[in-house]
Amino acid sequence: MSEGQAPAVRTPGRNLVLLVAPDSFKGSLTSVEVARALARGWRRARPADELRLAPLADGGEGTLVAIEAAGGWEWRSAAAHDSLGRAIEAPWLVSADGARAAVELAAASGLSLLDAGERDPIAASTYGTGEVLRAVLDAGIRRIDLGVGGSATTDGGLGILAALGLGMTVEPDLVVHLDDLDQRLAEVDLRIASDVTNPLLGPAGAAAVYGPQKGASAVDVRNLDDALRRWADALEAATGRRERDTPGAGAAGGTVFGLACLRDRFRSFAIEPGIDLVMEATGFAAKLAGADLVLTGEGRIDGQTAFGKTALGVARRAAAAGVPCIAVGGGVEPDGIEALAATGALAVPVTERPQSVEEAMAAGAAPLKRCGERLARLVGLGTTLATATCWRTSSAAGD
């Protein structure tokens, strides 16, 4: 089915198979909490429907929670440091067979670990994420999926690489030394989950676009961009790879750049859309098979939705399978509505009255439950009307 063609809910008048596959509502509810709230509301109106829950994420904060909820994964933790060097225990996941690991950069180097007044984009380091990766290697795991969203850092991945053994001298010029890099990387299949396409440097780069949200002033942005340029010159010279302009190199403050420069050191290396990796890890395709309707959502459905956010990824998969899709958003804007409409999906706001973002976030799961119930009643009304139409048509044909 082509994008823009809205499929219809199948066979009116019978119980439905509903797939509930939302992202988190950032700063308020995890994707697991969102999925459960929508499902509870739906059951109030249509208790006989079969509900399949598939909470999702796009590779940023909340990715591990979504993957673990699908089953077949176990929690582990690693002694690490946050982006400001404070000791923490950072969670990661291992598959039940012990062959794969899922790591979330935000778990050690995330912005959410800092209070607003603590944000320090100049000092913030990804070293802690490198410590988590080292713990994964120590556990004997060589297949690693790394989600890089939600970082507090703009260090070009320097911290991660330092934790993995990369050496440097800074006088008289910055020079990178690869000799002591962890030799186990040659056995690693690394996949990076990222939807960002920014280059490392310049007006569309890591510092300029994402630095301000991490606390960078205009002066900080210039200094960070200059530091990233010096780092890129040194790392590219040492590795023989030019990755600064690779789409997505600027993700997570340039973390993808740093790792991409070492791609020849890994057994395999790939940068993939975060939603695709999470869908694979959570068995989304199997849950979609046989569904009559998909219900997805995220905190905001806006202009950014068109650039690969979870709701659009779900809507595209649903359209390809010929299954209708509804996306709910804490906030819904025209650009987001249009992006989803191109797939045949419908965007619906959760909010019930004018309110601030802070008020909406403080409301918790209750509005989502009520939204789920409203949508279930709307679908029930639609199937009732469709059944009545079919009955009138068949009666007229009999006459």
Within 8 A by CB and 6+ apart from 297, the residues are 22, 23, 25, 34, 38, 311, 327, 328, 329, 350
Phi, psi angles (nearest 5°) of residue 352: -110, -10
pLDDT digit string (tens) for 215-255?
A: 999 999 999 999 999 999 999 999 999 999 999 999 999 99
How large is the average pLDDT for residues 197-216? 95
pLDDT digit string (tens) for 155-198?
A: 999 999 999 999 999 888 899 999 999 999 999 999 999 988 89
pLDDT digit string (tens) for 307-364?
A: 778 899 999 999 999 999 999 998 899 999 999 999 999 999 998 777 666 666 666 7
Whether the CB-CB separation of 133 and 176 falls below 8 Å is answered with: no
Per-residue confidence (pLDDT) for residue 9, from 0 to 100: 47
63-275 CATH pick, 3.40.47.40, 3.40.50.11060, 3.20.20.80, 3.90.1510.10: 3.90.1510.10
Average pLDDT, the chain: 90
Q: Has residue 259 got a pLDDT over 50?
A: yes
Percent of the chain with pLDDT over 90: 77
**Predicted confidence band at 303 (pLDDT cuts at 50, 70, 90)?**
confident
Q: Which residues pair with 232 in a beta bridge?
A: none
- Model pTM score: 0.85
- Which of 281 and 250 is assigned the larger pLDDT? 250
| Alpha-carbon span 36 to 29, nearest angstrom | 11
Domain boundaries, the chain: 17-54+283-398, 63-275
Confirm or reject CATH 3.40.50.10350 for domain 17-54+283-398, answering yes or no. Answer: yes
Element (H, E) at 192: strand 189-193
Per-residue confidence (pLDDT) for residue 396, from 0 to 100: 52
- CA 375 to chain CA centroid, Å, is 25
Q: Has residue 54 got a pLDDT over 60?
A: yes
Whether the CB-CB separation of 114 and 83 falls below 8 Å is answered with: yes
